[in-house]
């Protein structure tokens, strides 16, 4: 009996051990902790793109450059070669060239054109100024707006414009005066009386020519006794010359035309001047600025003795070319002259006389 109890106790203890230890002898590994996620650092805001800026002038594409050329008036054919030259320069450079002409030579109309171009923010303006003082303020505003501004033919030196392109008008007037003195060097008259035709009173180019003429004849027996204005109008120029010659032909010995307006038309348009000249061709002389193909007919009839020609084609071409250079940050042509603001780009002059006119003036 005692032996049986001992055996039973052993069995019970064995069952208890098996029940407590479970399957396998190794204790289960502790659960692996998942590390807490580190909050992501906020991304730095993307750098702002710079606001759209206009490219620097020198970086502007040629096809985006616009230069506007302005003559004094639409009906003045002396500016047609300037238009041709400007448009040729535009094609050669690959830029946009516009020709904007007022219907008449009026500073107010030119000012309106300039103001519209400031509003448009064109790149360059070349203008023949109807009056230097009337145009200077609006040209300054264009410059202040970042537009490159130059003048040609007729200047406005106090406007701040970058350069002037054209004839040295004072020197041209001197040449006209010197030829007038030469034409009368053998005259026995005590006084040579000259009638003078001007364009727009106060225009810089015409005023300079008349001053040059006056200085050249100073000290001689030649004297200006009359000045008539045509306001750069061809028809009015013919009327002024014809009316004065008809009324005062016996009281004058010569005409000085500070611009060639009367010679844009044929000789038949001025019968009074023709009659006056033919009545005494050796003692009645005509010296004029400007040469046109139509001038040849006047030379053929000996109605003109000397003409000083200007190169309007070069005025147009060189104005556009040098404004383009300035806009692109390149060196422009021209020379510095004492007392002259900006640069002076000379387009030269040609002297046409009875001796050389057939070679100098092309056929129409």
Mind listing the pLDDT tens digit for each residue in 232-276?
A: 999 999 999 999 999 999 999 999 999 999 999 999 999 999 999
- Using CA atoms, how far apart are residues 316 and 71, in angstroms rounded to an integer? 10
pLDDT band at residue 76 under the 50/70/90 scheme: confident
pTM, 2 dp: 0.78
Closest CA to 334 of 351, 355, 314: 314
Residue 151 backbone dihedrals phi, psi, to 5 degrees = -120, 155
49 Cβ contact partners less than 8 Å away, ≥ 6 residues apart: none
Structural tokens at position 140: 């300054």
- CA 187 to CA 51: how far, in whole Å? 76
- Whether the per-residue pLDDT at 10 is higher than 70: the answer is no
Domains of the chain: 59-167+312-333 (3.40.50.2300), 169-310+352-360 (3.40.50.2300)
pLDDT score of 24: 36
Taking a C-beta distance cutoff of 8 angstroms, is the pair 216, 202 a contact?
A: no
pLDDT in tens, 126-173: 999 999 999 999 999 999 999 999 999 999 999 999 999 999 999 999
The answer, yes or no, to whether residue 19 has pLDDT greater than 90, is no
Encoding tokens for residue 65?
A: 């450059």
Tell me: the pLDDT tens digits for 275-324?
999 999 999 999 999 999 999 999 999 999 999 999 999 999 999 999 99
Residues 203-217: pLDDT tens digits?
A: 989 999 999 999 999
Q: Which residue in 80, 119, 4, 32 sits closest to 364, CA to CA? A: 80
**CA dist., res. 306 & res. 111, Å (int):** 36
pLDDT at residue number 39: 43
Q: What 3-state class would DSSP assign to 350?
A: strand
What's the confidence (pLDDT) of residue 57?
55
Predicted confidence (pLDDT) at residue 3 exceeds the cutoff of 50? no
Where in 168-305 does DSSP place strands (E)?
192-198, 222-229, 254-257, 285-289
What one-character-per-residue DSSP string does 177-205 give?
HHHHHHHTTT---S-EEEEEEESSTT-HH
Residue 56: the pLDDT is 53
Q: What would the mean pLDDT of 37-59 be, rounded to a whole number?
A: 46
Strands 335-337 and 148-152: unpaired
């Amino acid at each position: 009996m005692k032996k049986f109890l001992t055996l039973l106790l052993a069995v019970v203890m064995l069952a208890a051990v098996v029940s407590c230890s479970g399957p396998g002898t190794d204790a289960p590994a502790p659960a692996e902790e998942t590390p807490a996620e580190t909050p992501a650092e906020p991304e730095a805001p993307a750098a702002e793109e710079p606001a759209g800026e206009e490219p620097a002038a020198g970086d502007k594409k040629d096809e985006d450059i616009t230069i506007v050329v302005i003559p004094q008036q639409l009906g003045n054919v002396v500016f047609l070669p300037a238009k041709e030259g400007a448009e040729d320069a535009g094609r050669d450079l690959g830029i946009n060239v516009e020709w904007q002409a007022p219907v008449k030579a009026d500073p107010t109309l030119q000012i309106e054109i300039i103001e519209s171009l400031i509003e448009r923010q064109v790149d360059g303006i070349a203008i023949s100024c109807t009056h230097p003082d009337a145009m200077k303020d609006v040209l300054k505003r264009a410059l202040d707006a970042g537009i490159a501004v130059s003048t040609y033919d007729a200047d406005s030196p106090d406007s701040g414009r970058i350069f002037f392109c054209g004839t040295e008008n004072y020197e041209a007037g001197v040449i006209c005066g010197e030829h007038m003195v030469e034409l009368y060097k053998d005259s026995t008259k005590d006084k040579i009386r000259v009638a003078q035709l001007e364009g727009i009173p106060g225009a810089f180019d015409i005023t300079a020519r008349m001053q040059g003429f006056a200085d050249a004849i100073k000290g001689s027996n030649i004297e200006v006794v009359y000045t008539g204005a045509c306001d750069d109008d061809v028809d009015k120029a013919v009327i002024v010359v014809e009316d004065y010659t008809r009324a005062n032909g016996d009281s004058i010995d010569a005409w000085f035309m500070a611009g060639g307006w009367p010679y844009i038309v044929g000789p038949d348009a001025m019968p009074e001047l023709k009659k006056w000249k033919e009545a005494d061709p050796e003692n009645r002389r005509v010296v004029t600025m400007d040469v046109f193909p139509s001038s040849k007919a006047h030379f053929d009839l000996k109605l003109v003795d000397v003409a000083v020609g200007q190169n309007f084609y070069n005025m147009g071409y060189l104005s556009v070319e040098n404004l383009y250079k300035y806009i692109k940050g390149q060196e422009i042509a021209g020379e510095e002259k004492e007392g002259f603001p900006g640069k002076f780009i000379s387009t030269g002059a040609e002297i046409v006389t009875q001796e050389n006119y057939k070679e100098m003036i092309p056929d129409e």
